[in-house]
């Protein structure tokens, strides 16, 4: 059995267990911090975490990693990305910088539909290569578990190819079959007839969850309901892109259908916050998307204080959030959403893992959990969020293997 001993760490830090999801300000701020510590992994699992002073002899073959001057954290969990895409939206970025809004570009066939065109043309091998490239960027920022959605194919072949490449790369695939209406359909209802009859049966075999973009110009609440009900029937967990630009009934629908999350929430008002606090649907906040599009920030502080389940994610995609770094997301959570560094860490580890149905095995640095460990080149774990736009990720161990 191969063992990996990470020794002499300045700090070993984990959201306190047990139990998930973690809700409320007190629980989200509760971390276990071991000073002068070690982490011992065996194969792909953490077997011990403790103080150097208590480290006993370790038998068998042991590979040692010097952790001096470093803080160890659980590998980060990105529970909302669109990491499979081809093409570029650099030109749109330029237009948006001074001339046009995201919604205006979407309405004239730019935006999501321009990525659909490039993604359809890439083929499965092209998509595989694109995802691998994006995964390398994410790993270098400390992400060891990643969800990725389809939604840039919107035809049978490309949607299924997207899900396949995510699954083959060890990611968590989500079928975003209702992202936009592709140009060959004249209405959202006609497109949904096709997607539910022709794509869902196979998508349900590949994906773990289904997602819909509930927004003016995309799908309305009754179309979202129809799509989600069919996906639930097929055994998928449910997620929604909701309240990004307008409140269009996403939160009540998510609660009624027992969705696992509603994501975005830049437009959510106090009543929506109250509803989420009273239910079990997680709020996945994507502050990079708000920043990138110059939109209001989602109500992170209010959601946590009210007792809602709060997770953070990158929303990594070529149009509204071209940034893969969860440390950057944590910086924005602290500076824009008024969350503390501990709340931000809990939100992109345990609670993000909960959204992906994996909180019993990833998101904590504790025995029995996956050997996914992030080492910062700083003796204080708060550098994760503190250094805005910096990258203190020194080493990333994924399933017991040193990767970056
Ligand atoms: O989460 N809001 C819709 N979907 C993505 C953006 C996708 C794109 O612009 O390509 C989002 O922001
Ligand atoms: Fe998204």
Predicted confidence (pLDDT) per residue in 201-231, tens digit = 999 999 999 999 999 999 999 999 999 999 9
Q: Cβ(112) to ligand 1 under 6 A?
A: yes
Tell me which residue of 164, 218, 161 sits closest to 192, measured CA to CA. Answer: 218
Beta strands in 266-392, from DSSP E residues, in sequence order: 282-285, 310-312, 373-376
Contact by Cβ (8 Å): 340, 20: no
Nearest ligand to the CA of 289 is 1
Helix (H, G, I), strand (E, B) or coil at 140: helix
Q: What is the pLDDT of residues 165-180, one digit of tens each?
A: 999 999 999 999 999 9
Q: Say if CB 362 and CB 380 are below 8 A apart.
A: no
Q: Check pocket membership of 110 for ligand 1, CB cut-off 6 A.
A: no
**Predicted confidence (pLDDT) at residue 44 exceeds the cutoff of 70:** yes
Domains of the chain: residue spans and CATH: 3-74+364-402 (2.30.40.10), 77-324 (3.20.20.140)
Q: Whose CA is nearest to atom 12 of ligand 1?
A: 320
User: CA 109 to CA 100: how far, in whole Å?
Assistant: 13
The pTM of the whole model exceeds 0.95? yes
- pLDDT score for 404: 66
CA–CA separation, 404 vs 247, rounded Å? Answer: 41
304-361: per-residue pLDDT in tens? 999 999 999 999 999 999 999 999 999 999 999 999 999 999 999 999 999 999 999 9
Ligand in nearest proximity to the CA of 96? 1
Q: Does residue 67 carry a pLDDT above 70?
A: yes
Total count of residues recorded for the chain: 404
Q: For ligand 1, say whether the CB of 315 is within 6 Å of any of its atoms.
A: yes
244 within ligand 1 shell (Cβ under 6 A): yes
Verify whether ligand 1 is closer than 6 Å to residue 289 (CB atom): yes
């Amino acid at each position: 059995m191969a063992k990996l001993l990470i020794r002499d760490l300045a700090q070993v830090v984990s959201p306190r267990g047990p139990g998930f999801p973690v809700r409320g300000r007190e629980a989200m701020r509760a971390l276990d911090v071991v000073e002068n510590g070690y982490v011992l992994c065996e194969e792909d699992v953490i077997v011990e975490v403790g103080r150097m002073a208590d480290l006993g002899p370790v038998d068998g073959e042991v590979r040692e990693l010097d952790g001096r001057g470093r803080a160890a954290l659980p590998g980060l969990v990105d529970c909302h990305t669109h990491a499979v895409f081809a093409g570029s939206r650099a030109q749109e970025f330029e237009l948006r910088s001074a001339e046009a809004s995201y919604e205006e570009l979407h309405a004239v066939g730019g935006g999501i539909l321009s990525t659909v065109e490039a993604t359809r043309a890439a083929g499965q091998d092209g998509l595989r290569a694109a995802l691998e490239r994006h995964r390398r960027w994410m790993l270098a920022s400390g992400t060891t578990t990643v969800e990725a959605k389809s939604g840039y194919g919107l035809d049978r072949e490309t949607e299924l190819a997207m899900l396949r490449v995510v699954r083959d790369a060890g990611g968590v695939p989500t079928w975003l079959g209702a992202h936009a209406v592709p140009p060959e359909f004249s209405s959202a209802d006609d497109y949904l007839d096709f997607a539910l009859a022709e794509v869902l049966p196979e998508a349900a075999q590949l994906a773990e969850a289904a997602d819909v973009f509930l927004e003016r110009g995309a799908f309305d609440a009754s179309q979202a309901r129809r799509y989600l009900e069919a996906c639930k029937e097929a055994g998928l967990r449910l997620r929604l892109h909701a309240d990004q630009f307008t409140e269009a009934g996403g939160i009540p629908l998510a609660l009624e259908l027992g969705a696992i999350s509603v994501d975005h929430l830049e437009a959510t008002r106090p009543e929506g916050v109250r509803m989420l606090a009273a239910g079990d649907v997680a709020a996945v906040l994507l502050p990079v998307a708000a920043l990138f599009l110059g939109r209001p920030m989602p109500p992170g502080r209010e959601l946590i204080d009210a007792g809602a389940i709060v997770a953070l994610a990158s929303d990594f995609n070529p149009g509204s959030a071209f940034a893969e770094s969860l440390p950057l997301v944590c910086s924005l959570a602290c500076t824009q959403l008024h969350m503390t560094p501990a709340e931000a860490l809990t939100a992109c580890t345990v609670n993000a893992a909960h959204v992906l149905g994996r909180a019993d095995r990833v998101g904590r640095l504790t025995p029995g959990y996956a050997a996914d460990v992030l080492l910062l080149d700083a003796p204080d774990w708060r550098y994760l969020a503190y250094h805005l736009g910096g990258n203190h990720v020194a080493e990333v161990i994924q399933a017991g293997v040193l990767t970056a």
